[in-house]
Amino acid sequence: SNVPYKEFEQLEEYREKAYGDNSTYGDKKRFYDFIATRDVFVKVIHSMKSNEIASSCLSVINEIKDDSNILDLGCNVGYSTSFYSKYFKKSQIVGFDISKKSILRANQLNPKNPNLQFFNSFEKIKDFRFDFVIDTQCLSDIDDPQIRSNTVNDMHKVLADDGILVSVSTLKNKDEAEHFIQTLNNEGFYLQKLLPVIFKSLDKWQGYTKLVFTKIDNEMIYNVSDFFEEMLISLDQKNHS
């Protein structure tokens, strides 16, 4: 597949916008839509982000039991979703993403997987009931508060009453995390666990935050500022050792 060099330059432009300091949800969506247009882009980005994807997946599977209905929210072209479908063979896995191009590519990449389906319209999954909802850098990346609240509310509708929402999020600091937790609280989700996900990216160690929510309020209180302080110290030590 001979992809013109110009398209790789375009890919890099989209990537810089999507992961720049002032990036928006729209920038990330355009980046992932563009990736979905070419197999080679899917492979390039997958290899660049392989540690991050692997660390996120491993951190998620610790929270999930097989023989379940599982939703992967913001699944993109389905890298992680297809991994979950192979790992949890007795489960039914659904990948959901609003990008039509990504879902088209996900279906092309996973043609014969009996326990795996992909959708890009919430209408099609609104009557499903999931035991687990996985959110890997989807909810935390939505910068429009109304869209974020609506999406969290949709997840509350499709999650079983005793279900679990596992979020691996790109929260940069205490304020972002507290705001994120509050948004989920407002829609009836309560924090049960807060853990770091540490991985080596291309040039440095980075950290995501794993948050586990249920619909049951056990009134647990987390010290979010201590959590970030400890994670930043740990990353700092790794990056300077």
pLDDT digits (tens, 9 = 90+) for 39-72: 777 777 766 677 788 888 889 999 999 999 999 9
Of all helices (H) and strands (E), which one includes residue 147? Answer: helix 145-158
Listed range (13-17, 89-93, 172-176, 230-234) with the worst mean pLDDT: 13-17
The better pLDDT of the pair 161, 17 is held by 161
Among residues 128, 131, 176, 178, the alpha carbon closest in space to that of 154 is found at 128
Enter the DSSP assignment of 144: -
Question: How many Cα atoms within 13 Å fall on the side-chain side of residue 143?
Answer: 10
Of all helices (H) and strands (E), which one includes residue 130? Answer: strand 130-136
* 141 Ramachandran zone, left/alpha/beta (phi>0; psi -120 to 50): alpha
Q: What is the pTM of this model?
A: 0.86
Q: Which residue has the tokens 């974020």?
A: 148
pLDDT, residue 12, reads 79
Question: What are 75's two structure tokens?
Answer: 């699944």
The CA distance from 75 to 102, in Å, is 8
pLDDT, residue 46, reads 66
